[in-house]
Amino acid sequence: MQVQYWRDQAACKGIRPSLFYPDNELEEQKAKAICGLCCVRECCLDFALATGEPEGVWGGLNVRQRRRISRSRSGLMGYVHA
Ligand code: SF4
């Protein structure tokens, strides 16, 4: 799916972008709740993982959670190529 296409379908479209760069747990939970309703969540998460987005909530996950996925994927690739 092209980047522009999925962004047009985003549940966060028109919502204050700073909510997705939360300063506290409550804001993060609000952002994640919106992501939970988003029909392009997988595309968003794939984009964030591919580009190494260093901040914010993307695809319903914060940066720590995305790093965990990236690490597990790279570990899996190492296993496949071993
Ligand atoms: S998953 Fe969340 S951050 Fe990504 S497009 Fe949907 S609502 Fe926006």
List, for residues 10-50, the tens digit of each pLDDT value. Answer: 999 999 999 999 999 999 999 999 999 999 999 999 999 99
Burial pattern 21-53, b for ≥16 Cβ within 10 A else e, equals: ebeeeeebebbbebbeebebbebbbebbbeeeb
Instruction: Determine the atom of ligand 1 nearest the C-alpha atom of 6.
Output: 5
Nearest CA to ligand 1 atom 5: 10
Q: What is the mean pLDDT of residues 54-70?
A: 98
> What DSSP character marks residue 17?
G
| pTM summary value | 0.87
* For ligand 1, mutation pick of 34, 46, 49 (most atoms within 8 Å of CB): 34
2 phi, psi to nearest 5 deg: -70, 150
* Closest to 29 (Cα-Cα) out of 19, 38, 39: 19
**What is the phi/psi pair of residue 62, to 5°?**
-85, 175
Which residue out of 8, 32, 41, 66 has the highest number of ligand 1 atoms within 8 Å of its CB and is therefore the one to mutate? 41
Nearest atom within ligand 1 for CA of residue 31: 2
